Structure formats: C-alpha cells, structure tokens
A = this chain, B = another copy of it.
Amino acid sequence: MKSRARVGKIFTPHGEIDTPGFVAVGTNGTIKAIDTQMIEKIGLQLMFCNTYHLLLQPGTHVVKKAGGLHKFINRKSPLITDSGGFQIFSLAYGGVNDELKSRGKKKTDGSVLKISEEGVTFRSYRDGSKIELTPESSIEAQKALGADIIIPFDELPPYHIDPKALKESFDRTHRWEICSLKTHLKNPQNQAIYGVVHGGIDKNLRKQSCHTLSQYAFDGYAIGGSVGKNKQELRELIDYTAPLLPSAKPIHLLGIGDLESLLATIPYGVDTFDSSYPTKAARHGQLLTKEGGIKIKQGKYNMDFGPIADDCTCPTCSHYCVAYLHHLFKAHELTGYTLASIHNLHFMVELMRQIRLAIYDDVI
C-alpha cells in the first residue's frame, strides 16, 4: 500500500508539537519518577495529565488558584488533559485484557454508581465520596486546569457489551461530546478540543462516529474506545477510520504507545500517541533499545560497564553504566527507577524524531 504517514506540526499557546509525536502520561501532574525540569530537558513536547486524578487530588480549584496546570507543575511546554470519562470507566471495568481474561463476564468494581443522560456518578477511589461528572463539569474542570488541548466527556463501554447497549452508549457519548464542545466554545480560553471517535471494533459505528464528529468544530480527533484485542484488529481499525476524519486536523490514538502499535499505525496517518508504557516499563526494569530492549535486572548485566546504548544521548546513558543501573534495581533504589524512566522517555522522543525523518525520506 502507499503509506499515509505524515509529518506535521501542531501549534499551541505553549509551543509546537512535531508529529508523529509521543505523548507521555503524567497522571498526577508528574511523569512518574521524573521531575518537570528533566522532562523539559528530555524535550518531551506534549504531556498528558488525567483530569479524573487531578479532580480528586489536589482538586481542580487548587490548580486554578495556582494559575493553571502549567504553573502548578512548572511546565513551559504543551499539556493535554482528558475528560475523566475513560478513567472512571476503565477503573470500574478493568482494561480490555482483564476482560479478555475474565472470558466475557462483565467485570466492575462497583465504583460507577449511575450512568444517565446527564452524566456519571461514581465513587472516588481516594475517599469513597460520591462524585458526579457531566460533560459540563468535565469541561469546567479542564478549563480550571488550562491544558493546551482538552477532551470532551465520553463513555468507555466495556469490550464485551451487547450491540443494543453499545449503540445506546454510542449515541449518548456523542451527545455528551457535542455538549462538551458547546460548553467549551462558550469560553475557549485559547484551548483546543479534540473529538473522540467511538464505535469499538464495529466499522459502521466508527464511520458514523467520524461522520457525526466531523460536522462539529473540533480542532482534532482522538481515536478512543476499544481499538481491538490485537495488533491486527488495531491496524485494520485505524486503516479504516483515519481516512474518514478531516485530513487537515491532527489524529491522536488514545492510550496506545508501545513500539509495535506506533509502527503499525503511523503509516495510516496517526499523528500523536499517549501511553504510560515507556515509564511503567522503566520502573519494571525494561529499558528500551532499538534491538528490542533489555531487562536490566538480569544477572548478565552486572558487569556491563558501557551505556544502555552506545549512541544514546540521554542523561542516564551520558552518565551511568548498565552495571550501575542493574545494581540500583537489585538494591531496589528509587534512583534506578528515575534513571530508567529518563532513558525510556528520551528513547521515545528520539524515536519519533527518527520516524519523522524516515517519513521525509519515504522510508515509512
């Protein structure tokens, strides 16, 4: 096939984002184990924070009082927040993998108390208090946070759901998104808003979602919901969906950031990806390399006095050897998690730069 991979640039009030670009997840307003100054040094252009978590702690009123999320966490570069919807539902249902393991039995931890036309009532995972989130309140929360890009409130249906319930959820989520957009447009506050394409793995629903959302003034589109249970399903879905969206606007793939998925979907025109995978893997001792990565806790690394990768320019590889990192992990030192996270995040930033060059060169 002819590649639809593309190189682009997103302009925001806090600077540019080169695409394809990796978006690191800093759920609580920090990328785990790395401070904001180091994130800037690594050159991460877009950081993803979770409204659900920030709503519960410290509370969006605190962040607003601080002058917004950029000031609160002292980040000069662009930020994106989600709506809270995904978190509410994914914490309640578990991920797709949990569901697949449960062989189709719907699983919920009971934290979602009520879903109505107005929104969702759920229990805080922090203190058990009842909280209602609606399209309006989600957008208000994201106005208080003040990220450069925000996401409309949506519902994540479980992967195993009967067609009737899926359609109900599907229609409601689009009403919620449009309501979110209208709330946003009353006070745009120089933020961009991305519509979230739903429909699970049903092509007709995906088409309908693209069609509906394309009629509204969203600044970009995020592909959300269940995107398949394996890479093949993901690839087919993106191949089918991406061309149905306005080509002049950025396409974001929500919650996907492993290398295989990136390389599988960039040729279909996906521009940005968010995932906690590189930093989570780092804390488990999995260091990313072009040769498929290394498991730093393995005994064979105890005498490896070179860097993780000879050509890596990250602050970790510039200063420390593999044997020291191995030792820090064996000794359960927090410093090890930090140094590994720095390397993996830098790896993703650098990989995307190389992917952009490869697209220029028509290699991808």
A interface, CB within 8 angstroms of B: 28-37, 53, 57-59, 62, 65-67, 72-74, 302-303, 305, 315, 319-321, 323-324, 326-328, 330-331, 333-339
Contacts and interface: CB of A to CB of B under 8 A. Distances in A.
A318 to B, nearest CB: 9
Given A66-B323, A74-B319, A302 B58 contact: yes
Contact of A333 (B32, B66, B315): B32
A327 B74 contact: no
A37 B315 contact: yes
Given A35-B338, A58-B302, A339-B35, A327 B29 contact: yes
A288 to B, nearest CB: 19
A347 to B, nearest CB: 18
A136 to B, nearest CB: 25
A248 to B, nearest CB: 37
5 contacts: A32-B333, A36-B320, A57-B327, A66-B323, A66-B324
A91 to B, nearest CB: 15
Contact of A319 (B31, B37, B330): B37
B303 A62 contact: yes
A74 to B, nearest CB: 5
Contact of A338 (B33, B58, B67, B303): B33
A331 B49 CA distance: 13
B37 A327 contact: no
Nearest to A305: B66
Identify the 10 closest CB pairs spanning chains A and B, nearest first. Answer: A28-B331, A58-B327, A33-B334, A30-B335, A74-B319, A30-B333, A35-B335, A57-B330, A57-B331, A66-B305
Given A37-B315, A72-B323, A331 B62 contact: no
Contacts of A334: 32-33, 334, 337-338
A254 B338 CA distance: 30
